[in-house]
Structure 1
């Protein structure tokens, strides 16, 4: 019987994604060859494209919004800034599942840079980590679902036959644009937090809990998700819906005696900060800039702007190759040294002249 080789899990807290000059980079190059065929048609037309990393290979996947937490993905959104625009614009994301391997994460990061080069450096790049995705990324998918599984993990995929004696818990929220976000979470009491909607799939019974803080659209979309589960089983599952304050105890009792909803953790807030990345002295330097404003940006260097919920990397049009290449790694290292409670915030990398509205809004706040 063949055995899966256990790959080293990627630790998002690592200060370096282990790419430039590493053995991983050499292995990626060896597997990819001189050209990546997956990029031949990438970004030629407006729309959404998704690829998954499979054993160092870039494999196109349907853009359904379904992601496995054991995998890493590359997502390209091609659009026009106005209907009459003659050129295409791009948002380029690499998404890291919480159980992805170090090899998969590193390959996704490396191949994202490769695709960026293929598109002549025009895309805005995003590092996305499961559970902390940017609003921009989530906006692409009317229903964004993360599920336990993956190409290397050996976990059950949702396409496999589902037994009617399972215990799967989903946490359901929505974006500002009312897109549905469905995250599979551990089926245990500590996963139950005030706010939003929960769906507990027991196979023969599917239970939905609407908390007091959940809104009508959220409950409605959660019900649609539950209905898709039940319809897929040909009526073998029974639906039960509970509202917090009127029967929720039956839902909570599934996770132990005396279980209650835990309060949501407070959101971290920090002052806005701007840092300059420069090699004008011959050695790379990383220094804080006194004024976190647009006026402080110089086309000769790269800059890191900490907006708390996102980390922006701005690259001047005259920045050196070393500054352009090192800036995203400085961002990763910055989060590590900062010892923030959330290492997984999106890292958004853009060139001068291709600033995102979110960056401009944050830096002018």
Structure 2
């Protein structure tokens, strides 16, 4: 553990002491522990820090820290989550691998921590977050999409949100409807069934009727008619429009930059691990993923500056939202990072 805990956030005291998942939400630019009953619910206007502790060799713990950025959060809140992630890593001894998670583009590793799915919801702390016991039931519409990793999120409760390509879940007080777009995949439909069980447990005390509604089937069928009645009757729907979230980042030949006082400087020559010098920070740009490497002895303020530099670099390059940023410390490199130095 860090010996300089007095400069770190007290909200992290005691973190990482046993295997499992711990979550903090950024509230007024400070991390606040999230009740376990709220795990899996992520508000689009907020940022979260997720610590996953696993048992390693010899009884030591391994740490992965993810900071999740909601689609409607502010740049300042996102920056706070990134910096607080560095502080948490410092408290854990600097051995954690840090991952940036953007809503809608979460990594498989991040999603694996949650039993069925994560549920991004409209709103956030700034819009007046209410505790679960204060909430009244709200009819919500969700979309499940993705071919390999299926993700779920709340969408506007409006027929214009529906399309032929995805699976939708309409969660009402008495019944949950699964609407299968005619061009949706088997994976999306299967994941939607898992999500429905999650919603039943979360909002219906485990008991609720479920109905499957098939796209392009007559609204005279009982369940189909009930489903469309929530939207004011059968409405025409189309294909899902292509948006910014559909842009897939391209992998490019790795380029190495040194980071000094938050500024990047290109390091020329054939890529080699010998270029990574103790006591320095580096950014390895691989297009679809950007790595930040901290050498031994890097001070907390230098790590924070490097973190900010990486965020600014990705933004300046106008990379897609799904571009990954992974931060790691000398001696705790991931296999994917090491592999970049073996590719010729």
Q: Contact 1:273 / 1:288 at 8 angstroms: preserved in 2?
A: no
* 2:155 matched residue in structure 1: 185
| Residue 334 of structure 2 corresponds to residue 327 of structure 1 | no
Cα distance, 1:291 vs structure 2: 4.3
Cα RMSD for the two superposed structures:
3.9
Q: Contact 2:255 / 2:285 at 8 angstroms: preserved in 1?
A: yes
After superposition, the C-alpha distances for 1:187-217 in whole angstroms (9 at most, x for unaligned) are: 3566446644211335565431224564545
Q: Contact 2:262 / 2:309 at 8 angstroms: preserved in 1?
A: no
Supply the distance in 2 between the matched residues of 1:233 and 1:141 (Cα, whole angstroms): 19
Q: Contact 1:335 / 1:343 at 8 angstroms: preserved in 2?
A: no
SS in 2 for 1:152: helix
* 1:241 matched residue in structure 2: 212
TM-score by length of 2: 0.76
Supply the distance in 2 between the matched residues of 1:277 and 1:235 (Cα, whole angstroms): 53
Aligned pairs (5 A) from 1:1-365:
36-63=9-36, 64-82=39-57, 85-142=58-115, 143-154=117-128, 160-163=135-138, 166=139, 168-173=140-145, 181-188=151-158, 191-192=161-162, 195-201=165-171, 203=173, 206-211=176-181, 214-216=184-186, 218-227=188-197, 229=199, 232-233=203-204, 239-244=210-215, 246=217, 254=231, 257-262=235-240, 265=246, 267-279=248-260, 284-287=263-266, 289=268, 291=270, 294=273, 297-299=276-278, 301-317=280-296, 324-340=303-319, 342-343=320-321, 345-361=323-339, 364=342
Cα distance, 1:42 vs structure 2: 0.8
Cα gap change, 1:149 to 1:335, in 2 (>3 Å): same
TM-score by length of 1: 0.72
Supply the distance in 2 between the matched residues of 1:97 and 1:339 (Cα, whole angstroms): 19
Cα distance, 1:349 vs structure 2: 0.5
Cα gap change, 1:245 to 1:155, in 2 (>3 Å): same
Q: Contact 1:274 / 1:290 at 8 angstroms: preserved in 2?
A: no
After superposition, the C-alpha distances for 1:33-91 in whole angstroms (9 at most, x for unaligned) are: 85533322111222211112233443222342221222222211111334xx2322211
Structure 2: which 5+ residue stretches go unaligned?
A: none
Structure 1: which 5+ residue stretches go unaligned?
A: 1-31
SS in 2 for 1:131: coil
Cα distance, 1:348 vs structure 2: 0.8
Aligned residues between the structures: 324
Q: Contact 1:278 / 1:285 at 8 angstroms: preserved in 2?
A: yes
Supply the distance in 1 between the matched residues of 2:108 and 2:302 (Cα, whole angstroms): 27
Supply the distance in 1 between the matched residues of 2:251 and 2:167 (Cα, whole angstroms): 29
Cα gap change, 1:58 to 1:332, in 2 (>3 Å): closer
